[in-house]
Amino acid sequence: MMRGFALLVALGMLAGSQLARAETAATSPEQDFKAFRKYFTDKFPKVQLDDFANGPYSMNEGLRKQWIEKEVFPPYDFALDKGKELFEKPFKNGKTFADCFENKGIGVRQNYPYFDEKTNEVITLEVAVNQCLEKNGEKPYNYMKDDMAAVTAYMAFTSRGKPFDIKIPKDNPKALEAYQKGKQYFYQRRGQFNFSCASCHVQAPGEHIRAEILAPALGIMNALPIYRSEWGGMGTTSRRLTSCNSQVRGVPLKPQDPEYRDVEYYLSYMANGIPISGPGARP
């Protein structure tokens, strides 16, 4: 009797460890990409692939109508004008942002974030903007809104329609590690509410959370930076990620913390091929 029971327990443990082993085998970015894409296109067969970049508007007809109307004079218009002004204004040393970026910084949003193989870090557009400022003896911008949101809004605008083209350098274990860390961040529950990013954006896109309609995770980076009516102003990726954290009662990390950059890297890669739609307007 005891021996039988012991055998049963042993078998159970073996099965358990087999399961654990299968789960821990990391999938490749290419495998993840295929599965991620299939999940959302299967779930929403009527949504055009490019439309995923419009977040909640791809999920709800009534919301979309209001958005289309507002796009005649979108709320990000003023930030866009300010962004163009800041982008073209020379620094004290005479140089401009154009000197820091490929193609003079026009139509390049879709290449960010990229993995800098010299410094082994993920470089987002905002980090690149501040690196440019510091390189030219200027004060870096606050990552969350105002000037940073204005400049990145302009850079996104000049890149509208260009599909995300995020690269994970092959045979670079550090780049792959950043990608995998980003993936973990996305799926890991946090905060007192025990939500992960996936809880809302994979489990319930198109559903309501209080009065908001949730955006699908596919293409969720494409419209940033955004003018959010809730904020009454512009916000960058950092603003959105930190507020997502506090909304689930988790203390946010610092803007552009490596973990935030990693999750942006992961989500942008998942959206490869889907066009930049930013700057965006959201409720």
Partner 1 sequence: MRIMTSIVAGAAVLMALTSAHAAETADTFKAAYEKAEAANKKAGELRNQWTTTAAALKAAKKAADEGNFDVATSQAKHAEALANASIAQTEREDKLWQNAVIR
Partner 2 sequence: MASTIRVRAIAGADTTEVQALVQHPMDSGFVKDSKGNLIPPHHIETVQFETGGKTVFTALWGPAVSKDPFIKFAFKGGKKGDDLKITWIDNKGATDTTTAKIM
In the complex, the residues that contact partner 2 under the rule CB under 8 A are: 69-70, 72-73, 75, 77-78, 81, 229, 232-233
Q: Is 200 in the site for partner 1 (CB under 8 A)?
A: no
| 113 upstream amide cis, omega within 30 of 0 | yes
Residues 133-192, interacting with partner 1 (CB under 8 A):
183-184, 187-192
H/E segment holding residue 233: strand 233-235
From the CB of 246, what's the least distance to partner 1, in Å?
6
Residue window 35-54: x/- pattern of binding to partner 1, with contact defined by CB under 8 A:
xx--x---------------
Distance, CA of 234 to CA of 228 (rounded, Å)? 6
Tell me which residue has tokens 């550090």: 174
Residue 29 DSSP class:
H
Burial class from Cβ neighbours inside 10 Å (0-12, 13-18, 19+) for residue 262 reads buried
Q: Is 119 in the site for partner 1 (CB under 8 A)?
A: no
Residue 249 DSSP class:
T
Total residues belonging to the chain: 283
Pick 82 or 109: Cβ nearer partner 2: 82
What φ, ψ does residue 155 adopt, rounded to 5°?
-65, -35
197 in catalytic set: no
From the CB of 230, what's the least distance to partner 2, in Å?
11
Q: Is 201 in the site for partner 1 (CB under 8 A)?
A: no
- Out of partner 1, partner 2, none, what residue 65 binds, judged by CB under 5 to 8 A for its kind, is none
Distance, CA of 249 to CA of 221 (rounded, Å)? 22
Active site members: 244
* Residue ranges binding partner 1 (CB under 8 A): 23-24, 27, 32, 35-36, 39, 183-184, 187-192, 194, 196, 198, 202, 246, 249-251, 253, 259
